[in-house]
Amino acid sequence: MEKSQPKKVIRVKDLRKIYRIGDERVVALAKINLEILQGQICCIVGTSGSGKSTLLNQLAGLEKPTKGSVFIGRTKISSLSENRLAEFRQRHLGFIFQSYNLMPTMTALENVSLPLIFKGASRSRRKKAALSMLSAVGLKKRAFHKPTQMSGGQQQRVGIARAFVTRPKVIFADEPTGNLDTKTTSEVMKMMVRFARKHRQTLIIVTHDPELADYADRVITLIDGNITSDVSHTTIYDGTENCDKSSTDDKKDAVESEDLIEIPDSDSDIVLPKLMEDPPALPSDIDLPEETEIKGDSSL
């Protein structure tokens, strides 16, 4: 029986981005047309200055285009107000950064709980979901550590847990392994791909490292703000531990994360096997009111 066609999650039409500094004009993106499907793992590759981060920022609604449009689902994010965009990002998108961008005064648990506050989850659900996610990235024992007490690889795993904890439709990662060594890079890439595959989430990774393309379904190459190649290929790494990319070490990791728990769904009750001792309360001054519905994004 034929499978139904995957949905288009992102649509970009005639996107152009020009930066002006004084009299200087930099054409960061010339004219980009692009469609990305649900569940696709995409790498955007290119040398430094080719426009990768600019494209990612446009796709994620972090910057406004000079011309053209970007849709996520049915929502034209390139036309949303800043407030609406912020809400949209909190509801539907996840972000992973090169320098992790964790809150330095917060524990791993608090960092991972944070996006759930913006989604209006109760304190106990936040705690359960964040612990579950930390367990999924193999950091249950570090729940009460602060970023400075963790290695770069561990911090990025907290970053991954934070990005996936709300089960976003699309996860954006700009040079997520840029500060990591080769072995840790492979662990982090596998973890992101495995999580994304599990719930058919779309993952868009910007990198200057062509080797990371091995993890992707699709590789989009940029040169001077233009897409010069866009190749979909048979996936080399499929998110399971039975394929070429996994080493013995990784298998050990996989076992640890096998008794994990499902990636929590913030819209359903989360059942955890075991809870650790009671974590500290999250700061009360960052509690937000219930989220508001965004019109026009019903496809998401």
Residues that bind ligand ADP (CB under 6 A): 19, 21, 26, 28, 46, 48-54
Torsion on CA atoms 10, 14, 15, 16, rounded to nearest 10: 170
Closer residue to ligand ADP, CB minimum distance, 180 or 206 = 206
Considering the complex, state which of residue 51 and residue 264 has its C-beta at the smaller distance from ligand ADP: 51
Token reading at 251:
């298998």
Contact between 270 and 132 (Cβ < 8 Å): yes
CA dihedral over 60, 64, 67, 68, signed as positive or negative = positive
Q: Is 54 in the site for Mg ion (CB under 5 A)?
A: no
In this structure, are residues 60 and 158 in contact, taking their beta carbons and an 8 Å threshold?
A: no
Judged by beta carbon distances under 5 to 8 A according to partner kind, the member of Mg ion, ligand ADP, none in contact with residue 166 is: none
- Name residue 298's amino acid: S
Q: Are the C-beta atoms of 236 and 229 separated by less than 8 Å?
A: no
Question: Given the rule CB under 5 A, which of 47-55, 68-76, 88-96, 288-296 is the region that contacts Mg ion?
Answer: 47-55
Beta carbon nearer to Mg ion, 53 or 221? 53
C-beta closer to ligand ADP: residue 129 or 222: 222
Contacted entry of ligand ADP, Mg ion, none for residue 1, CB cut-off 5 to 8 Å set by kind: none
Phi and psi of 67, rounded to 5°?
Answer: -145, 160
R_g over Cα of the chain: 19
Q: With respect to Mg ion, which residue has the nearer C-beta, 49 or 153?
A: 49
Of the candidate residues 38, 53, 154, 177, the single one contacting Mg ion (CB under 5 A): 53
What H or E segment, with its residue span, contains residue 227? strand 226-232
Contact partner, 49, from ligand ADP, Mg ion, none, Cβ < 5-8 Å per class: ligand ADP
- The answer to whether 6 and 37 have CB atoms below 8 angstroms apart is yes
CB of 48 to ligand ADP, least distance (A): 4
Q: Are 197 and 179 in contact (CB under 8 A)?
A: no
Of all residues in this chain, which one has the CB nearest to Mg ion in the complex? 53
- The binder of 234, among ligand ADP, Mg ion, none, by C-beta within 5 to 8 A per type, is none
- Residues composing the chain: 300
Q: In this structure, which amino acid lies at residue 141?
A: K
Instruction: Please give the single-letter amino acid code of residue 266.
Output: S
Q: How far is the CB of 209 from ligand ADP (least distance, A)?
A: 12
Residue count at the site for Mg ion (CB under 5 A)? 1
Are the beta carbons of 203 and 188 closer than 8 angstroms?
A: no
Select 30 or 261, whichever has its Cβ closest to ligand ADP: 30
Question: Minimum Å distance from CB 178 to Mg ion?
Answer: 9
- Residue 220 CB, nearest approach to Mg ion (Å): 14
Stretch of residues binding Mg ion (CB under 5 A), selected from 18-26, 49-57, 76-84, 237-245: 49-57
Residues that bind Mg ion (CB under 5 A): 53
